[in-house]
Amino acid sequence: MGTVRAMKASWKRNTALFLGSQALSLLGSSLVQYALLWQVTLQTRSSVMMTLYIVAGFLPTFLLSPFAGVWADRYDRRKLIVLADAMIALVTLALAVTFSLRGPELWLFFLAAAVRSVGAAVQQPAVGALLPQLVPEDQLMRVNGIQGTLLSVNMLGAPALAGFLMSVAPLQVIFFIDVSTAALAIALVMLFVRVEPRPRAPEQEGSSQLKEIRDGFRYIRGHTHLVPFFCYLGFILVLITPAAFLTPLQTARSFGDEVWRLTAIEMFFSVGMMLGGAALAAWGGFDSRMRTMVASNVIMGACTVALGVVPHFGVYLAAMGLFGVALPLYNTPATVMLQERVEPAYLGRVLSVMTMLSTALMPLAMLLFGPLAEVVSIERLLQVTGVLVVLVGLLTPLHRRLMSFGEPKQVPVEPQDLAG
């Protein structure tokens, strides 16, 4: 009992060390991700090769996510995160050594993207499911907001740092940086992060992995809130795809193809996400998680329409920045609701379904919107999808079951709280 109390008392230090380790790991991974993508671009100058590289980077995550969810529910989540980091680092190290001996061979880029995608599939549900073991429930929104802010800082800084390193040093240097940051992250997690033991649910003992995957989907189907919640998430992901993927092309066509313009839209979006994540960490959102998400939907939809109608690039950048502010108000409550509402024995599997949706739906939606952008103006696509996002935001409050999923949990009052 004394050990548990001590762990609860030191949750802030524990969580800070864990988030710091993940920020280190993410920085190294992002540097390699940008370096590989840009190297494929420069070496092939082929849209087909680019598409194949992107598919290699997301398909393993999509296919492996159901199994990764089972592992996050079966095994020690902290060790799974360390294992994923170690696997990615070893692949990167092998890539660096191979490049030093034989030079940059194209097939290695695709292999590295695929293996790193496997590591991401294992890591994402494990990280999401581990946080509730570290953080008091009433602090989950703020901690997830901080994590989102760190992600936004990485999105802002990693491309610039990767570009600088590629211009002054061989590609292998970036690979060795990734290995070093992964080693530091692993050391932090293993040596300093303490996690309260989590007993397995009795019904999981002796089950096969396929049965546990089926049980996870059965749990989602049987939960009166999860099916409409995932439908809602998927619909929004599809509708914001043009704003996420086609705005660089729109900028080049409508405002000019100068590099600074493309850099500016990424920077404004990333700074917006930083501000949104920081605001959410300080504010915590509405009491109803769904109200926060609905407000974000309306803002994102309005910004998408604005991106399709504004004629001035400065106003366009402002709309892009506001879109970035709104995005954490959508992503973070979605994760927190699952962390709060889903039974711990199923949390990894349920989070893995969200990983599958976020990994696959937007690239698949581009199979529709990409060809459409050749026959319909991107402005028109943004106008239509933006209006639809606003409509979803306005109509969602009418779905009482879905809205009730975001209501605050009734936490029982302990006797000592009454005494205080």
Q: Over range 226-245, report the average pLDDT.
A: 92
Structural domain contains residue 415: no
Residues 132 and 232 in one domain: no
Write down which residue in 161, 192, 223 finishes a domain.
192
Residues 369 and 311 in one domain: yes
Residues 161 and 62 in one domain: yes
Whether the CB-CB separation of 338 and 325 falls below 8 Å is answered with: no
403-413 pLDDT tens trace: 998 887 654 43
Residues 33 and 144 in one domain: yes
106-148 pLDDT tens trace: 788 888 888 888 888 898 899 998 998 899 988 888 898 888 8
Task: Output the pLDDT for position 199.
Answer: 57
Structural domain contains residue 411: no
Task: Output the pLDDT for position 192.
Answer: 87
Short-list 331, 293, 352, 303, CA closest to 152: 331
Structural domain contains residue 264: yes
Residues 252 and 352 in one domain: yes
Measured CA to CA, the distance from residue 44 to residue 41 in angstroms comes to: 6
Structural domain contains residue 412: no
Structural domain contains residue 338: yes
| Domain that residue 261 falls in | 209-406
- For the chain, what is the largest distance between any 2 Cα atoms, rounded to a whole number of angstroms? 71
How long, in residues, is the chain?
420
Short-list 159, 157, 131, CA closest to 332: 131
Write down which residue in 192, 222, 255 finishes a domain.
192
Residues 257 and 171 in one domain: no
Q: How many domains does the chain have?
A: 2
Structural domain contains residue 257: yes
Task: Output the pLDDT for position 322.
Answer: 97
Measured CA to CA, the distance from residue 81 to residue 195 in angstroms comes to: 13
Q: Over range 146-159, report the average pLDDT.
A: 83
Residues 123 and 239 in one domain: no
Task: Output the pLDDT for position 382.
Answer: 96
Residues 318 and 257 in one domain: yes
Whether the CB-CB separation of 118 and 64 falls below 8 Å is answered with: yes
Residues 146 and 188 in one domain: yes
Short-list 127, 107, 128, CA closest to 185: 127
Residue 32's CATH number: 1.20.1250.20
Task: Output the pLDDT for position 77.
Answer: 92
Residues 156 and 239 in one domain: no
Is 42's pLDDT higher than 80? Answer: no
Q: Over range 348-362, report the average pLDDT.
A: 87
60-101 pLDDT tens trace: 888 888 899 999 988 899 999 999 999 889 988 988 888 888
Measured CA to CA, the distance from residue 266 to residue 157 in angstroms comes to: 11
Measured CA to CA, the distance from residue 170 to residue 242 in angstroms comes to: 35
Write down which residue in 141, 162, 192 finishes a domain.
192
Structural domain contains residue 418: no
Confidence of residue 360 (pLDDT cuts 50, 70, 90): confident
Residues 188 and 213 in one domain: no
181-235 pLDDT tens trace: 999 999 999 998 888 776 555 445 556 788 888 888 899 998 888 999 999 999 9
Structural domain contains residue 198: no
Residues 188 and 231 in one domain: no
Number of H helices, E strands in the chain: 18, 0
pTM: 0.79
Residue 279: both structure tokens together: 């605001």
252-303 pLDDT tens trace: 888 887 768 877 888 899 899 999 989 988 898 898 999 999 999 999 999 9
Whether the CB-CB separation of 116 and 90 falls below 8 Å is answered with: no
Residue predicted with more confidence, 16 or 151 = 16
Task: Output the pLDDT for position 205.
Answer: 54
